[in-house]
Each structure stands twice: as structure tokens, then as C-alpha cells.
Structure 1
Amino acid sequence: MMQQQLQAMLALQDEINTLVNDNWREQEFAWYRAIWVESAELLDHYGWKWWKKQQPDMDQVKLELVDIWHFGLSLELQQGRPEKVAADMTAELAAMQAAPGDFREHLEVFTLNTLASRQFDLVGFAQLLADTGMSFDELYRRYVGKNVLNRFRQDHGYQDGSYIKNWAGREDNEHLAELSESLDASSSDFSDLLYSALASRYAEANTAAV
């Protein structure tokens, strides 16, 4: 199941990267830098200031981990075909045993490894999932949801600024979360079903607004 989910996510990441830039593999985008910046944002949501009371915002922490996963998958895709990459990633994840620990310290190690190698520290990322209690199935559902939303935004004018995130009185990610929970994430066409449901609701909202 994990390998199938990985292969599906890698294929989706390739699609969204290609939608943004047809020749994304040749562009040598600094995916590692994006991971580094997202890691800093992630730490802010988790909390690190000793001079004030802070409570981790775990939903935002998980959202940031999903964003990092997007960039990590892009780095992994630079290594070869999705099928082979998925098999390699599955083997690496299956070989490790991660127990929850100090999230902030593990995040720093993960970020340092990313900057030093300019590659995705898959083992370090798996440790962060363990620290936050985020299962691989949850990562899959959240990733597919965010990927669908990114693709939907691109298809509806996100790059030229014509897309409006708020419709029918709510943000698009709220609509997405609701629709995602109503669908079977184990379905092989989960992403297509989710995109269709989001498009239908968006069309209904725009029709009602006229």
C-alpha cells in the first residue's frame, strides 16, 4: 500500500511541476532552499520562544510538513522514474524505526542535512512524522488534498492573479478539507474524484453568485 501511495504522489507531483513549467527537471530549481524556508515557518508554528508561552499549532505544523513533502518529492523525482523512486523510498522507510522524540532538535538536524546535501533527507522527514504523530496514511490524504488544490488553483487563474481563494463565504482549503473527508482516500482515483468534487462546488458557488 505504501509503495502504491508513494507512486501516486510522485506522479501527482510530476504533474503539478509540469503544469508550472514544462521543463522543470532541466531548470535546477532550488527545492532544498524551499525546504529550508518551510522548515523555519514550521518551527514558528510549533513554537520555540522561551520568553513567552507558546502552544504548538499542530494542524499548521502538519500543513507545513505536507508543503515540505511536495519539495522533497520533487527532489526525489530528479533521481529517476516515479516507479523506481517509489520502490527505493518504500525500502528506505521500511528499514527504519522512528520513535517520537524532540521535534525541534530533529527539525534542526533535518534542515542541516538538507542544506549540506541539497537533497531530501527522507529518514529525517520520517522522524518528524513520528514526532508529530502523523501517520503515512494521513500524510497521503493531506498531500493529495493540497496537490489537488494547487492544481485547481493553477487551472483557474492562480498565476495571472484572477483566481479568488474565498468563495461561497469560505476559503478554498476549507471546502477541500470537507470534501476530502467525504471521499474514500484508498480509492485509486481519489485525486480525480476530489478534483471533480472541488470543481463542481466551485462552479455551483460561481453560479449562485451571479
Structure 2
Amino acid sequence: MMKQQLQVMLTLQDEINTVVNENWRAQNFAWYRAIWVESAELLDHYGWKWWKKQQPEMNQVKLELVDIWHFGLSLELQQGSPEKVAATMLGELKVEQRTPGDFRENLESFTLNTLASKQFDLVGFAQLLADVEMSFAELYQRYVGKNVLNRFRQDNGYKDGTYVKNWTGREDNEHLAEIAGQLDASAVDYIDQVYRSLQERYREIALA
């Protein structure tokens, strides 16, 4: 199951990257830099200021980890096809076998390794998932939802600025979370179900 879900996510990432730029592999985009910036945003949501009381915003923390995962998958896909890459990634992503540790220190190590190598620190990322008790199944559900939303945005004018991100007083991310919570992520047509549900809601606001 894990290998299959990993392959699905890699395929989805390849597809959305191709929608944005059909020759994306040849462009050598600085995916590692995007991971670095997202890591700083992630730490802000987790909390690091010793001079004020802070509680981790766990939903936002997990959303940022999913965003990092998008860029990490893109880096991994530079090495080959989704099928080939999935096989090499699998052994390093045994999240359930890791013991939770100090999230802030592990995030700094992950970021440092990513910047030093300009590659995705898979082992470090798996540790971050363990630190926030985020299973691979939850990563899959959240990633697929966000990927489908990204594709939906592209299909509905995101690039030319005509897409409406706020639907009836709530951002599309909030609608996505609600939709995903009502669907079975293990369903064969889960991806299509999410897209259709987004489409139906977006059509409703267009007609309002």
C-alpha cells in the first residue's frame, strides 16, 4: 500500500509540474531553496520565541510539511520516473519506525542537510513526520488533496489571475479540508472525487 501511494504522489507531482512548465526537469529549478523558505514558515507555525507563550499550530504545521513534500518529490523526480524513484525512496520513509524527538532541532538539521546537498533529506523529513505524529497515510491524504487543489486552481485561471480563492467567506483550503474529511482516501477514485467536489462547490459560488 505504501509503495502504491508513494507512486501515486510522485505521478501527481510530475503531472502538476508539467502543467506549470512542460520542460520542468530541464529547468533545474531551485527546489531546495523552496524547501528552505517553507521550513522557516513551518518553524513560525510551530513556535520558537522564548520571550512569549506559543502553542504549535498543528494543522498549519502539517500543511507546511505537505508543501515541503511537494518540493521534495520534485527533487526526487529529477532522478527518473515515478516508478523508479518510488522504489528507491521507500526504504527511507518508514515513519512508524521512528521515535519522536525535538522537532525544532530536527527541522534545523533537515534544513541544513537540504541546503548543503541541494537534495531532499528523506530521512530527516521522515523524522519530522514522526515528531508531529503524522503517519504516512495522513501525509498521503493531505498531499493528494492539496495537489488536486493546485491542479484545480490551474484549470480555473490561477496563472492569469482570474481564479477566485475565497469562496463564500472561506479560502479554498478550508473547503478542501472539509471535503477531504468526508471522503475515503483509500477509494480507487479518491482523486477524482476530490476534484469533482471542488468543482461542484466552485460552480455554486460562480452561480451565486
What TM-score comes out, normalization by structure 2 length? 0.97
Question: Which portions of structure 1, spanning 4 or more consecutive aligned residues, are displaced by more than 2 angstroms?
Answer: 91-97
The alignment status of 1:30 with 2:42, answered yes or no, reads no
What secondary structure is seen at the aligned counterpart in 1 of 2:157? coil
- The letter of the residue matching 1:32 is Y
Deviations 1:86-122, CA, capped at 9 Å, x for gaps: 1111122249931000000000000000001100000
Q: How many residue pairs were aligned?
A: 208
Deviations 1:156-181, CA, capped at 9 Å, x for gaps: 11111111111233221111111111
Do the aligned partners of 1:96 and 1:123 also contact (CA within 8 Å) in 2?
no
Give, in whole Å, the separation in 1 of the partners of 2:15 and 2:97: 31
Cross-structure match for 1:69:
69
Do the aligned partners of 2:96 and 2:130 also contact (CA within 8 Å) in 1?
no
Give, in whole Å, the separation in 2 of the partners of 1:78 and 1:170: 36
Give, in whole Å, the separation in 1 of the partners of 2:95 and 2:145: 28
- The letter of the residue matching 1:57 is E
Cross-structure match for 2:99:
99
Structure 1 gap ranges (5+): none
Identity of aligned residues (%): 77
- CA spacing shift, 1:95–1:162, aligned 2, 3 Å: closer
The alignment status of 1:120 with 2:120, answered yes or no, reads yes
Give, in whole Å, the separation in 1 of the partners of 2:67 and 2:86: 19
Give, in whole Å, the separation in 1 of the partners of 2:12 and 2:54: 36
Structure 2 gap ranges (5+): none
Cross-structure match for 1:205:
205
Structure 1 residue 132, shift from structure 2 partner? 0.4
1:1-210 pair list within 5 angstroms:
1-94=1-94, 97-207=97-207, 209=208
- The letter of the residue matching 2:53 is K
Q: Over aligned residues, Cα RMSD in angstroms?
A: 1.3
Give, in whole Å, the separation in 2 of the partners of 1:142 and 1:22: 25
Do the aligned partners of 2:95 and 2:127 also contact (CA within 8 Å) in 1?
no
- The letter of the residue matching 1:86 is A
What TM-score comes out, normalization by structure 1 length? 0.96
